[in-house]
């Protein structure tokens, strides 16, 4: 049975991907219903859904009558209204992302999440009803076979599920607010009140020089204080999701998320095979990364660019990489389909989101003020390119394969290092080393966090102290550091709170991306062509385990694949390190 849990992910936060080849499909600028609209032209509307539900009731009545024209007309009208609600939800989320402490957008985002969840559920229930009546064939022909199958298998939310989803959204907002106010956390040491800003700045450097044990006490004391704030939010989220899994008759929320939220074509058990293979090599890679000076020199890479300089520089070199980048970038800039800026109030990180009513991707990014901004932009623009050429065939019913979607982004990010010599000149080797190192980290950290989350959802009654100890023990298994009693750094991974079980997608995608990079070292155009082949395969038809072999790439389940895929990239990092 289908249900609203995966649907809401697809409508709200889809990283667009499609089924047709990028050369065979009209771009969003030609096909979107409101393609001529600029982002700045969109007006936010606080929607009252009362009239919508009256029309849903009318469709439920019509479902029993043999009046196909009336049914299809009302169905289309209701569908458009759900897309309108989704668009308002997207606007409120983007506004909230730009100012996570703004109470208005916090409340509007929560309101829209709840409204969209309930409205989409009511709509899908009504569509299900139509497919049980005399107009079933007419609706099936109208929406197509895939959507008809979705509605025919749809399982409505229970009242309890609706309540739990609202609680989940509210808790996620609380997490982001707490993290945005991180510097309000304090720790007293030796008669002085410390904050994260102080310990991470010159005051912390001075303390470390004269009292290293004191520095460690303050640093971990601040982390524990923050953990005491956000940890209870996480344990509540785990309890909520465990109850949802129980309602849906899954043994674990991890199994539910793998199947329903992310549409994976491999199981949690197969993911553990991947994790076990990564554990065999991870200690060596961590030892090298963490002892290389290049890994710690990233903050000195210049130039540091503002949004305009970043887009201009990126655009010049993206056009050299492949002409398919040109049109989407022009569209994004001309229509204002991005929000790239710095600010203390902004959500940490970056994302690319579908604006349902526009059929258009939107790129959000917080500037970091380091080389990482270029890396982050090239990553997110990989999503944007795919969303531009291959928007979701149906935001209501089509669910993207996120493992494939992340190859679109990390593939472009890694290929783009070919231009770092021209962008960063003297800092190019450091920047390249860090991007390649982050690909290795993506493999390892993706496995760490997936195993961490799976083990938590297998034992959802764990206390916060047990969770902190579990994370520390898993990191030790992967060779990240020596045994320590507790580790609080998992709380900085917003996916743990907002999108559990996503993180393995980074690891799976990085395995493919590293192979693309390996190919590009022998023949750059062949590497670009392999990346484009992944784009052309899309992520709505075949899954990761089918697409990769079809594009000539190895799977993580193959014996020896992890070590053999990572080796050429590691050789290049060793070369860069030796040359520094």
- The dihedral over CA atoms of 113, 115, 119, 120, expressed in degrees to the nearest 10, equals 0
- CA–CA gap between residue 88 and residue 382 (Å, rounded): 25
What is the structure's pLDDT at 367?
A: 92
Q: Torsions phi, psi of 156, nearest 5?
A: -70, 155
The pLDDT tens digits for 341-383 are: 998 888 888 999 989 888 889 999 999 888 889 999 999 999 9
Closest among 21, 77, 69 to 324, alpha carbons compared = 21
CA distances from 311 to 62, 116, 260, 305, 454 (A): 51, 33, 36, 9, 38
Beta bridge partners of 364: 339, 351
Q: Torsions phi, psi of 190, nearest 5?
A: 50, 45
Residue 371: strand, helix, or coil: coil
DSSP per position, 253-266: HHHHIIIIIS--SS
What is the structure's pLDDT at 538?
A: 83
Token readout for 522 is: 């022998």
Beta bridge partners of 79: none
Q: Which residues of 377-398 are buried (b: 16+ CB within 10 A; e: fewer)?
A: bbbbbbbbbbbbbbbbebbbbb
Q: What angle do CA 7, 10, 13 make, to 5 degrees?
A: 130
Beta bridge partners of 69: none
DSSP letter at 341? Answer: E
Beta pairing class for 360-366 and 350-355: antiparallel
Q: Is 19 exposed, middle or buried (0-12, 13-18, 19+ CB in 10 A)?
A: middle
Rg of the Cα atoms in the chain: 24
* First and final C-alpha spacing in the chain: 56
3-state secondary structure 520-555: HHHCHHHHHHHHHHHHHHCCCCCCHHHHHHHCCCCC
What is the structure's pLDDT at 35?
A: 53
Closest among 218, 235, 219, 275 to 508, alpha carbons compared = 275
What is the structure's pLDDT at 531?
A: 97
Answer for the pair 400, 15: CB distance below 8 angstroms, yes or no.
yes
Q: What angle do CA 569, 570, 571 make, to 5 degrees?
A: 90
Q: Torsions phi, psi of 101, nearest 5?
A: -95, 0
What is the structure's pLDDT at 307?
A: 93
What is the structure's pLDDT at 36?
A: 64
Beta pairing class for 154-155 and 187-189: unpaired
- Positions in the chain whose pLDDT score sits under 70: 1-36, 482-483
Closest among 491, 450, 460, 456 to 470, alpha carbons compared = 456
């Amino acid at each position: 049975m289908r249900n609203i849990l995966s649907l809401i992910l697809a409508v709200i936060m889809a990283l667009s991907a499609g089924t047709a080849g990028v050369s065979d499909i009209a771009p969003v600028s030609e096909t979107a219903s409101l393609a001529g609209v600029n982002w700045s032209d969109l007006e936010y509307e606080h929607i009252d859904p009362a009239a919508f539900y009256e029309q849903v009731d009318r469709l439920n009545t019509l479902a029993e009558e043999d009046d196909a024209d009336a049914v299809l007309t009302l169905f289309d009208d209701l569908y458009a209204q759900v897309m309108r609600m989704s668009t308002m939800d997207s606007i409120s989320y983007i506004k909230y992302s730009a100012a996570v402490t703004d109470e208005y957008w916090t409340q509007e985002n929560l309101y829209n999440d709840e409204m969209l969840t309930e409205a989409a559920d009511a709509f899908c229930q009504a569509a299900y009803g139509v497919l049980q009546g005399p107009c079933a064939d007419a609706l099936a022909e109208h929406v197509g076979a895939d959507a008809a199958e979705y509605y025919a298998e749809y399982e409505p939310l229970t009242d309890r599920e609706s309540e739990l989803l609202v609680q989940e959204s509210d808790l996620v907002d609380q997490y982001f607010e707490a993290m945005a106010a991180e510097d309000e956390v304090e720790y007293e040491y030796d008669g002085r009140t410390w904050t994260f800003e102080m310990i991470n700045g010159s005051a912390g450097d001075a303390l470390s020089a004269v009292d290293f044990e004191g520095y460690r006490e303050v640093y971990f004391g601040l982390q524990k204080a923050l953990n005491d704030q956000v940890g209870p939010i996480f344990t509540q989220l785990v309890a909520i999701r465990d109850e949802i899994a129980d309602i849906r008759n899954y043994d674990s929320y991890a199994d539910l998320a793998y199947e329903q939220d992310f549409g994976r074509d491999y199981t949690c058990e197969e993911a553990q095979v991947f994790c076990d293979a990564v554990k065999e090599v991870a200690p060596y890679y961590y030892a090298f990364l963490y002892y290389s000076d290049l890994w710690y020199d990233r903050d000195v890479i210049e130039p540091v660019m503002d949004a305009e300089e970043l887009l201009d520089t990126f655009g010049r070199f993206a056009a050299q990489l492949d002409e398919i980048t040109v049109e989407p970038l022009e569209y994004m800039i001309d229509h204002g389909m991005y929000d790239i800026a710095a600010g203390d109030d902004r959500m940490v990180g970056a994302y690319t989101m579908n604006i349902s009513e526009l059929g258009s991707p939107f790129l959000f990014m917080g500037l970091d003020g380091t080389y990482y901004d270029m890396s982050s932009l090239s990553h997110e623009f990989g999503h944007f390119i795919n969303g531009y050429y291959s928007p979701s065939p149906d935001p209501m019913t089509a669910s993207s394969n996120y493992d494939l979607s992340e190859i679109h982004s990390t593939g472009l990010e890694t290929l783009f290092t070919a231009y770092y010599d021209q962008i960063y000149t003297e800092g190019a080797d450091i920047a390249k080393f860090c991007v390649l190192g982050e690909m290795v980290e993506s493999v390892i950290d993706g496995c760490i966090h997936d195993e961490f989350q799976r083990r938590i959802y297998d034992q959802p009654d764990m206390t916060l102290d047990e969770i902190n100890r579990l994370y520390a023990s898993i990191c030790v298994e992967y060779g990240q550091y020596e045994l320590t009693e507790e580790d609080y750094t998992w709380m900085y991974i917003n996916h743990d709170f907002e999108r559990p079980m996503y993180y393995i997608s980074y690891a799976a995608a990085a395995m493919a991306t590293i192979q693309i990079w390996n190919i590009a070292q022998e023949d750059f155009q062949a590497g670009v062509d392999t990346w484009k082949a992944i784009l052309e395969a899309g992520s709505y038809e075949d899954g990761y385990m089918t697409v990769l072999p079809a594009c000539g790439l190895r799977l993580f389940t193959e014996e020896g694949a992890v070590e053999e895929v990572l080796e050429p990239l590691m050789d290049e990092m060793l070369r860069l390190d030796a040359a520094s």
